[in-house]
Amino acid sequence: MMSDRLRAFSGQIIAVGVALLLGAIIILLVGESPIHVLMTLLRGAFGDQEKIAGTLLQTTPILICGVAACIGLRGGMFNVGIEGQLFLGGFAAAWVGFSFSLPAGIHMLAALALAVVAGAAWVAIPAFFRARYNTNEVVSTILSNYIAVLLTSYFTIFLFKRPGGWSETPPILATAYLPEIFSFSRLNWGLFIGLALAVGVALIFRYTSWGYGVTMVGSAPKFAEYGGVNVKRQGFVVLLLSGAVGGLAGGVETLGVHHRFMEGFAPGFGFDGLIAALLANGSPVATIVTALFFGALRSGSLLLEVDTSASREIITVIQALIILSVSAQVLIKRRGDSQAGERRWKF
């Protein structure tokens, strides 16, 4: 077991190393020094306390979305719709925040609760078709992203738009705010929620019978079915929980950062969380590290266009290279495991 984990970890490190090497070649091709770009990224992400807080602020939604992806991956489900669940959760939290007047604390919890419900409800349809008709959840959840983004845009522009020129809802009441950690940054308690969620989900998967059943369904569904596990129902529940956490990410972003819902309020956090979970091999605790990596890339890229001649879009290219490298590594590993299994069977 330990050697498998070490092999998986080393494979991910090699994949990231190959992606960074290719990224360095591309930076050279655009006429910039990779070392200078790297140092600028590090300075932009960790240069002083404000930049560190900015990096952690970017890390928070990626971490929560990553935990949502981990729940799905552990149960053998590939929830690509976390971006859409994040948007629905963010809008639901904003609606509670500006529509109701409740005591502080209760107001925040009510908004987060509706964000969780909205995320779970949004993934319920793909989850039902996956469980009932064995449809591909990758296709159905990725298509649901576009509907979610356009639906929340419609709500924001035509139904709940605040007076003025911007496409955004009215601001939420102060009683629904997530408390900030520092006075000089918008970093808020969402970071603690993400950390507690990652550790809590890891403990559930490791020490509970339900977590063991989910892991078994994800790694060996036929074996789990022979052992009496209702695989279809387990998959349905796993997708619902994954969507609920995705909705929570949107609620945290709304209540802790923007204090309203606006068009494109959290672009790409859901996809970054999915990549962070893949890079962590589906481990919620390891996702803390990978989410910090992607948060640092986002935060550091803000300084990239100021101090170098490279565009900040180079970070998007590097992220794409990481996806390709990690995907290739996973495919090679699965093919190797399959061939080894066939050899054992023939023997």
pTM above 0.95, yes or no: no
SS3 of 168, please? Answer: strand
Which segments of the chain does DSSP mark as H helices, in order?
2-29, 34-46, 49-74, 82-99, 106-133, 137-154, 190-207, 209-219, 221-226, 231-253, 269-279, 284-307, 313-346
CA distance 146 to 261: 17
Q: At what angle do helices 34-46 and 284-307 cross, to 10 degrees?
A: 110
Top pLDDT among 104 and 59 is at: 59
Tens of pLDDT, residues 44-84: 888 888 889 999 999 999 999 999 999 998 888 888 889 99
The pLDDT of residue 14 is 79
CA distance 26 to 137: 35
Tens of pLDDT, residues 289-334: 999 988 988 888 777 777 777 777 777 788 788 777 777 776 676 6
Tens of pLDDT, residues 6-18: 666 677 777 778 8
Mean pLDDT over residues 273-288, rounded?
Answer: 88
The pLDDT of residue 345 is 41
Residue 31: is its pLDDT beyond 50?
yes
Tens of pLDDT, residues 116-165: 999 999 999 989 988 888 888 888 888 888 899 999 988 988 888 787 77
Least reliable range by pLDDT among 33-42, 92-101, 284-293? 33-42
CA distance 25 to 321: 12
